[in-house]
Amino acid sequence: MKAHNLFKMAFVSGAMILGSCSSDDDNGSSVPSFDEPVNYVFERDGKSTVDFGGQTTRIAMAEEIIDAFKVKTTEEAALLAMYAHEKGKNDFSDPALNASDKSAKSKTAASTDYFADNAPVSAEIKAEFDSWISGQVTEVFPNWEVTAEAGKAGVIQEAGGGKNRYVNAKGLEYDQAFAKSLIGGLMLDQAINNYLGTNVLDAGTNKEDNDNGVVKEGKTYTNMEHKWDEAYGYLYGASADKTKPNETIGDADSFLNKYVGRVEKDTDFAGIAETIFNAFKKGRAAIVAKQYSVRDEQADIVKENLSKVIGVRAVYYLQQGKNGLGAASVDYGSVFHDLSEGYGFVYSLQFTQDPTTNKPYFSRDEVKGLLNDLMGGTNGLWTVTPATLDKMSETIAAKFGFTVAQAGS
């Protein structure tokens, strides 16, 4: 097999499977099957060709940022600096992060597919993330020990001596809004709207170089291989074993990996984690085999299923909040926590991609409308109704083709 002879691929325990692939030829004739590894392991001349260190770094930065949201002595400038980190600045506890030239903000709403020609909207989105940081410091921190009520920021303890939830005047937890919106605005947007897009994979001479085995200077991989791996890194970059990450899916980080794991545990969506991983793996093997139509088919599978994860979790949290509001005694701490997470997942809907249209399942304007339904009342979450949460849930579920009952359980 040509791909196997030209590019040496290492398979875990020597195991491999053969993938049957559609043709890239104009006449539709079949092409040889290619070697597909059992795990995400690819080598050239005995050296790994997989590298996504930048993604691992940004995930680690994001973890420290959301931790800092919970420390009331954190200054606004310090938190903003963590988000927009500059190389050499002592923004993090990890010296390696401080030495990095990466930042979470630089890659927020920065995909080629959605924002290359839409700089004003990208800037608007970045400003919204900044506003959640500023709101936490200027609105929530000063009221850290004040009991929250409609129209007043402060703290609400969950029933039964549970966790303290720190909310703004409308009941929103800024830390949850920031963290869950970052899943869409950074991790998802970069993975599916940037690195898995043909505008990036086939940019410049990438296809020609990949056809001829031309690697990046000083590296072991072609540029196309690397771009695909960077998409993989936004999901699996913090995994204990990055070659077989589903062994710890849901436990590796607080972002996309965590919620793929949560959706996988829902029996209505069991198997989604394997579907996503297998598509990443087969698409990468297709790049090695120069089978670009197969690569693109696998990219579409990843786009559809990662987008579905965002939709499922948006509905899940809206429904959890609705159920809480329907209780005989409303536990506002728990309800507002669920709805704040729901806020972030609804916000993230604008970064999904429907591979049949190459557009988000929900436009930015549609997302704004949903968030206005959630927060637009005089006192925001304090006055949102179960009927509104049901209507929002039904709207989201219908776009993705699952039911509210499936996602809400």
pLDDT for res 33:
86
Decide the pairing of beta strands 43-44 and 16-19: unpaired
237, pLDDT greater than 60: yes
What's the rounded mean pLDDT across residues 325-332? 96
Local confidence band at 20 (pLDDT 50, 70, 90 cut-offs): very low
2, pLDDT greater than 50: no
Q: Centre a 10 Å sphere on the Cβ of residue 245 and count the other Cβ atoms it contains.
A: 23
For the chain, the straight-line distance linking the first and the last C-alpha, in angstroms and rounded, comes to 47
Local confidence band at 14 (pLDDT 50, 70, 90 cut-offs): very low
Look up tokens 């948006």; give the residue: 314
Residue 262 domain-assigned? Answer: yes
Tokens of 314: 């948006």
Task: Output the average pLDDT for the chain.
Answer: 93
What's the rounded mean pLDDT across residues 287-314? 98
Shortest CA distance to 165 belongs to which of 181, 143, 133?
Answer: 143
Distance CA 125, CA 32 (A): 45
5, pLDDT greater than 80: no
Residue-by-residue DSSP string for 180-194:
HHHIIIIIIHHIIII
Residue 342 domain-assigned? Answer: yes
Distance CA 384, CA 3 (A): 57
pLDDT for res 79:
98
16, pLDDT greater than 70: no
Instruction: Identify the bridge partners of residue 354 per DSSP, sorted by sequence position.
Output: 359
Helical H runs in 215-289?
223-236, 256-265, 272-288
**Residue 329 amino acid letter:** S
CA 216 to chain centre: 27
Reduced to 3 states (helix: H, G, I; strand: E, B; else coil), residue 17 is: strand
Shortest CA distance to 379 belongs to which of 140, 139, 151, 135?
Answer: 151
Reduced to 3 states (helix: H, G, I; strand: E, B; else coil), residue 237 is: coil
Please count the structural domains in the chain.
Answer: 1
pLDDT (tens digit per residue) in 179-194: 999 999 999 999 999 9
What's the rounded mean pLDDT across residues 401-406? 98
Residue 110 domain-assigned? Answer: yes
Residue 267 domain-assigned? Answer: yes
pLDDT for res 18:
42
What's the rounded mean pLDDT across residues 138-157? 98
> CA distances (Å), 83 to each of 102, 104, 183, 209, in order?
10, 6, 14, 35
User: What stretch of H or E contains 155?
Assistant: strand 154-157
363, pLDDT greater than 50: yes
Backbone angles phi, psi at 363, to 5 degrees: -70, 170
Residue 15 domain-assigned? Answer: no
Shortest CA distance to 232 belongs to which of 246, 220, 216?
Answer: 246
Tokens of 292: 């670009």
pLDDT (tens digit per residue) in 41-85: 999 999 999 999 999 999 999 999 999 999 999 999 999 999 999
7, pLDDT greater than 50: no
Decide the pairing of beta strands 43-44 and 34-37: unpaired
**Residue 352 amino acid letter:** T
pLDDT for res 23:
40
278, pLDDT greater than 80: yes
Residue 401 domain-assigned? Answer: yes
pLDDT for res 377:
84
pLDDT for res 31:
56
Q: Which domain holds residue 149?
A: 51-409
CA 141 to chain centre: 28
Please tell me what DSSP assigns to residue 116. T
pLDDT (tens digit per residue) in 75-120: 999 999 999 999 999 999 999 999 999 999 999 999 999 999 999 9
The region, left, alpha or beta by phi > 0 then psi within -120 to 50, assigned to residue 129 is alpha
Residue with more model confidence, 77 or 24: 77
Say what percent of the chain tops pLDDT 90: 91
Residue 27 domain-assigned? Answer: no
The region, left, alpha or beta by phi > 0 then psi within -120 to 50, assigned to residue 147 is beta
11, pLDDT greater than 70: no
Shortest CA distance to 346 belongs to which of 282, 280, 407?
Answer: 407
What's the rounded mean pLDDT across residues 343-365? 98
